[in-house]
A and B are shown apart, each in its own frame.
Chain A
Amino acid sequence: MPKVIAITKKELAAYFKSPVAYIILVVTLVIFNFLFFMIIDQNREATLRDVFQAMEFIFLFIVPLLTMKVFAEEKNAGTMEFLMTTPTNNNVIVFGKYLGTLLFLSVLLLISVVYYGIIEFYAAPDWAATLSGFLGIWLEAALFLAIGMMTSSWTKSQVVAAITSYVILFFLYFSLTFVKYFTGSAETVIKYISTMTHSKNFFVGVITLTDLVYYLSGILFCLLLTRLSIETRLWR
């Protein structure tokens, strides 16, 4: 556990020492604020449901920018060789790095709690639905991060890592749009893998075991593939 903390701290510190992270943080919050006021002004409803959907869409673009460097930069700078020759288990390396990126994104989400405060000030929103929505968007972000980190472990190039992430995330996000062209088991599979199928339940205040399993198993699957990816040098 001390090694996980050491790697998490290092990863988190690397974000806050980089201007790119501050730019991402500020730009994302500006977009969130803009969307929040626009949605509330248009809907006139004391709910963050549509705000969460907008945040989900923004995360599609933001997350690959945050994760592209996680392993690609290490490979490029030669520090991967250092990490892999210390007596540190590969699970610890992957989990420590994942926790670092997740904490960074959690900070961003934590700041957006202020939106609930604003609505609470003027009306009486359903706090349970809002809490469920925050859990949903946090799980969604966590899944996106795991996918981004996985693609970062596949390459030395941060650009390639980001583009590959975009391809996978866009496929998962928009796949529901194409479901009408499929029938039978293909339709079931596409519906299941689409993130929108699962996130919308959280946003309306419904937490189901299926949705929780979807996110948690997705995250675990990506982290396992990341671990396998950093070990591939051993099989070559």
Chain B
Amino acid sequence: MITVKNITKCFGSLRVLNNISFEIGNGEIVGFLGQNGAGKTTLMRILTSYLTPTSGDVYYDDLNIQNNSLEARRRLGYLPEMPPLYHEMSVKSYLKFSAELKNVPVREITASVDRALSDCRLNNVCNKRIGVLSKGYKQRVGLAQAIINDPDILILDEPMSGLDPVQILQVRTLIKNLEHKRTVILSTHILSEIERIVQRVMFIKAGSVIKDTSIDSLAETENRTFVVKVKSDEQFLQNVLKDITCATLLDVKTIRDCCEVSLSVPRSEENVNTIAAVLTEKRVSILEIIESRPSLEQKFIEVISEEDHA
């Protein structure tokens, strides 16, 4: 378990993190979300013990990482925002070097390197010089370095940066495979990926965690929005909708001979049935009723804006 207690970080007079506290359980995958300059990277650097907080403490289980930084780093895999690569080295020799520095037993180094190469799909470039690799490959070499010691805690700052859709899928699978086995903290600007990978998100703004919630409850809202596609004349439909008292009309769009109606209804399945019943009674043929869930992008903007208005 990672416990963060009242972390504050100042660079001179600039307060970058402001009294942050949270806990992350073993096997959890957590995403940090926030605009550039929100303090995500500084927080990650403190969690890796690369930086020390101005005040507050970080614990891996009962281990205070400021006082036992070497012991804490043994349990850690870290991919910084800029992959830390030696361009003159080959991929294999770099991973071997990383394994040596990360206390991988000598007898296990070859096996660890092979596993990291295979997990990150790097076998075909293992003897190439890192400097000649594409951005996507470099990112994956950085990721391979982070997992070389099979760490308990994996901290990944922008792991998807520079990857193509296929590579993103591979990295996503790799991280998902660690679920329940390793604690993973990651930040990315690709919000759709966060949604697919993490169980929990923390919205960070101006050095504070403004929302800490599970990804499932993030999708839940007080009102659900349904998009009802019907075959009907818009004028007639407007009149029918007046009879649906349980829902609020958000929008009506006519596309060819179909109408698309967006309705906001309180969370109850009966309401959906009522809508369907009213429409059927008025002989409006229903083509489709789908629930429109807010995207993480929408939620992200909503959470950030809420805080602005507060």
Contacts and interface: CB of A to CB of B under 8 A. Distances in A.
B88 A85 contact: no
B49 interface: yes
Nearest to A82: B84
B51 A234 contact: yes
Interface of B: 11, 45, 48-52, 70-71, 73-74, 76, 78, 80-89, 93, 97-98, 100-103, 106, 145
Given A2-B106, A14-B88, A89-B70, A83 B50 contact: no
A84 interface: yes
A3 B97 CA distance: 9
A3 B88 CA distance: 19
Contacts of A2: 100, 106
A236 B16 CA distance: 12
A168 interface: no
Given A82-B145, A84-B50, A10 B89 contact: yes
A86 B86 contact: no
A236 B98 CA distance: 27
A81 B100 contact: no
Contact of A81 (B52, B80, B101): B80
A158 B76 CA distance: 31
A79 B138 CA distance: 13
Nearest to B84: A82
Contacts of A83: 84, 101
A170 B57 CA distance: 46
A184 interface: no
Contacts of A233: 50-51
B85 A79 contact: yes
Interface of A: 2-3, 6-7, 10, 13-14, 17-18, 77-89, 233-236
Nearest to B51: A233
Nearest to B96: A6
Given A81-B50, A234-B51, A236-B11, 4 more contacts: A18-B88, A78-B81, A82-B98, A87-B102
Nearest to A93: B101
A87 B72 CA distance: 8
A18 B87 CA distance: 11
Given A6-B100, A18-B88, A85 B73 contact: yes
A6 B97 contact: yes
Contacts of A6: 97, 100-101
A87 B70 contact: yes
A17 B71 CA distance: 34
Contacts of B85: 77, 79
Contact of B97 (A10, A18, A85): A10
Contacts of B103: 87
Central interface residue in A6, A84, A87, A236, by most chain B CB within 10 Å = A87
Contacts of A84: 50
B88 A17 contact: yes
Contacts of A87: 70-71, 73-74, 101-103
B78 A85 contact: yes
A159 to B, nearest CB: 19
A179 B106 CA distance: 55
A78 B80 contact: yes
A7 B80 CA distance: 20
A86 B98 contact: yes
7 contacts: A78-B80, A78-B82, A79-B84, A82-B98, A85-B48, A85-B80, A88-B101
Nearest to A6: B100
Nearest to B103: A87
B100 A78 contact: no
Contacts of B76: 85
B80 A86 contact: no
Contacts of B82: 77-78
A89 B74 CA distance: 12
